[in-house]
Structures are given as C-alpha cells and as structure tokens.
Amino acid sequence: MMFCYYVLLLLQLFSVGLSSAQDQIECYNVNTTTNKMVDNFGRERYFHGINVVVKGPPWIPNTQKFSSDWSFTDEDMKLLNELGVNVVRLGMMWPGAEPVKDQFNETYFSIAKDIVNKAANYSINILLDMHQDVLSARFCGEGVPDWIIDPEVAKNFPEPLSRPYIVDNATGHPTSEDCAKHAWAEYYPTEATSAMFQQIYDNKNGLLDELKEFWVKVATEFQNFSNVVGYELINEPWAGDIYRDPLLAWPQVADKKNLAHVYDTLSTAIWNVDPCHNVFFESVTWDEWTVGFEAVPGGKGNEHRSVLSYHFYIPPDIEASVSFDYRMKDLKRLQCGGFLTEFSITSSNPSNVMDEANKHLQSWMAWDFKPYYDITGDSGSIWFSNGSINANVTALISRTYAQAVAGKTISMKYDSKTSTFVLSYVVTESCTSTITEIYLNEAQHYPGGFEVTISPSDAATWNKEDTNYITVTHKSVPAGMIIQVTVARK
C-alpha cells in the first residue's frame, strides 16, 4: 500500500510539473468570433513584421557578426524593435534542418533556437516558416532537401519550358547561368516541379511522412517558446501535377484536392506534440477570390489555433482592397485568424497595402529584411546595396499602431502624411486586462514631440513606458463603453 501511495504521489508531482510548464507558455490563439489573435488576457494582438529567410547554405542567417546583407544579430533585433517590428517570419529551411535523410542537423536547430531566445529580449515574436520557392535547387529554387527529389522525375527539367538543363554531376543542380535564362517563377509549371509536388502530396515513397517528421522535430524543439506565434506549413505551395490533372491549375481546386489533406496530416502531427501554438496555412497563390478550403487544418474544433496566411503581390493580385475583402470573407467562413505574411516593402505603393491592412485590422509582415541569398526574387529590403539604410522603407515600417488592445478593436487608422493615429475600441467583459499598448516612433514621426488625447477624457489614462512605447489604461468602466485614443504631433 505504501508503495502504491508513493507511486501515486510521484505521478501527481509529475503531472503538476507538466501543468506548470504548460501554464508558463503564452500562445496567441484566435478568437473565432472576431477572427483576431488574442493573448492570455483576451487582449487583441496586432503584429507588424518582416521576413528573414535564407534560401541557400547555411540556410540560417549569421548571428555572430553584423552585415547589411546576411546577419541577424542583436544589432539587427535592436533596430527592428526601434522600428516597431514585433514579429519576424523566420525561414525554417528543411535542407538546413535535415540535409541527410533521418539525420537532423542539431547545430542548425541550436542556432535557430538561439535566434528565437534573443528575439524575445527585444519583444519580437517568431513565425517559423517552411519556406520554399519552386521546391528545390534541382529546379532552380529552394525548399526541400536534395534527397527528397526523384532523379527520374528531375532529369527532364525544365521541360516544357526548354530542353533539359545540364546538371552538376556532384549535386544534380542546374548551373546558375541556365537558371537565369528564365524568371524563377516560370519554373513552377514545369513537368518535373509539378510531378514532385504531387509525389509529396500523394505521399509517394513516404515523402509526406518525411515532411511530417520534419514538422514534428520543429514542434518538439520550439514547443516551449512563448514568443513563437506559430508554424507555417508550406510557403506558396504549387498546385501539384497540372499535367496529370489540368483542373488543379484552376483557383480553389488544388486547395481542396491536394493541400487540405496535406495540412490535416501536418497540423495533426504538430498538435500531437505542441497543442498550444498556431498553424499557419496558405492556399495556392492565384486564389485572387476565395480560397478553396472548406475547413481549417485538422477540421472543426481547431479554428482557434489556425491562421490563414496570405500574400499580396501584383501580379498575380490585382488590387489590395479587392484581395483584403475576399480574405476577410474567407476568415469569417472558416472562423480562423488571418495574417498578411508577405508583400513588397519597396513596391510602388506599399503604404496602400498597409492602410488596407489597418482598415481590416490585419497584421502584416513585409518582404524582406535583407537579401539573404535570395535566388528566387528580391523585392528590396531595409538596406541599399551599398549598406546604407533605406530611410523611405524604415519610415513605412515604423508607422504608429496598437500592439495590444484591451477590448474589441473598432478601427485603427494612421495618416502617413501627418502621423496622426486614431484607435477606437470597445471595452469587453472577456478581456481581463485594462492595458492597451501602442508603438510610435518618436524620432521618425514625432520629432517635435507628441500628444495623446483620450475620449471620454475620464475613461482612461496614458503613460510613456519607454522610448517609442505608451500604454493606455482604462478605469473601471462598464463593458460596452467605446474609448478613442488619438496620437498626434505637437
């Protein structure tokens, strides 16, 4: 009996230990009614961020020495914090994580975890992104390890675009000179690329199982990080074998036929290890109108930890207002969160995209922070090629916004000409915090100082917590009261 008592006591202590560890993890899950990410207090959370994706060896940025084209150091993170960046989409590159089948590169994971740890010191959250473009270096792109690619499928690349390229005998990769003959995106609809995507989707030779094991490893390594906002399953997935099934090229079809079951498989495997963090999922890139998914990954009951990731580029998109309107319809229908995870920060009118994001209360991440061996497209970055800062870009990124709202946000507006910011929100019973957090770049947008106006004036008070950061704390006001906060230049 005494032995049984001690066994029960140990089991209780063990379960308490597990519960305590889990209770310490804060996950930004989704309010399925408002489609907004919320924290443990029920505050709506908003993110402005940037992409950090290394598309070639060593598949991870230099964390030791600062440079304008390759690093992600404390100096970089300090700059991002000053610019109001509170999230980074970090490339979790499969070739770096598992260069040899069934042999994970623990050094790679150690460096990645160190990045996530350091980012927390600068109030930066991390989205771990299984980034790919055209799937493989064997197809003039990047994404999966070489051992995934079937040599018989790859040998006719890039037909029908052109005759097969001569490849390096050691790597099996085409030369950079051959790859440069066409724009990188033109390699997506080649027979080889399409067929290999389909092999993964169909789990031929266990390839989907391999991708699943990669994500299980990632989730295992990062499950205890509070500043991980989620795992993005596949960046910009291709439709599949459009030659075997031409209808896959039609918007929405591939989402239903190929991606839905793949996302079910991957998300279930992730949540078996890490039930807390969100899964980010993406449709094919030409779903200009509604996406084809009929449910979130894993099906009903997982809406609170599912976020639809979407991009905006012209082409294939047409107009920001149109794209956002359709994405909002998707979020309502799927009852999940939404996040603009890519758009060009140096395009002709990025401010318009940001304004539309504000209008629809959407978080965003711009492309991209630095060139980072960007073999498949370079939309510009914070730095010019000579290593100097692009002041136009930093001015765009550092716009004023609320990072946490203690209630339900009604509207958030920023005037890029006057730097006037107006936030309206309604106090709710479900939010247990009274503190709203606002970022503003004092040196960039308010060089002569700023003033804060609250309406009703007796409903809340504001305080400057640190350079570029203020809080607004509402008093014991009834649920349903609308509070408006205005930040303006003096």
> Count of CB atoms within 10 A of residue 81's CB?
18
Order of strands across the sheet that contains 408-414:
408-414, 421-426, 482-489, 450-455
Residues whose CB is less than 8 angstroms from the CB of residue 441 and which lie 6 or more positions away in sequence, other chains included: 82, 83, 84, 398, 399, 400, 468
Instruction: Please confirm, yes or no, whether 236 is among the known catalytic residues.
Output: yes
| Nearest one of 101, 97, 167 to 130, comparing CA atoms | 97
Half-sphere exposure in the Cβ direction for 473 (13 Å, CA):
6
Single out the catalytic residue among 82, 210, 236, 282.
236
Half-sphere exposure in the Cβ direction for 177 (13 Å, CA):
3
d(C-alpha 453, C-alpha 461), whole Å: 9
d(C-alpha 435, C-alpha 472), whole Å: 6
Q: How far apart are the first and last CA of the chain?
A: 75
Q: List, as one string, the DSSP characters of 375-426.
A: -S-----SB-TTS-B-HHHHHHHT--EEEEESSEEEEEEE-TTT--EEEEEE
Check: CB of residue 220 under 8 Å from CB of residue 269.
Answer: no
Quick one: tokens of 297?
Answer: 């990954």
Report, as residue numbers or ranges, the catalytic residues.
236
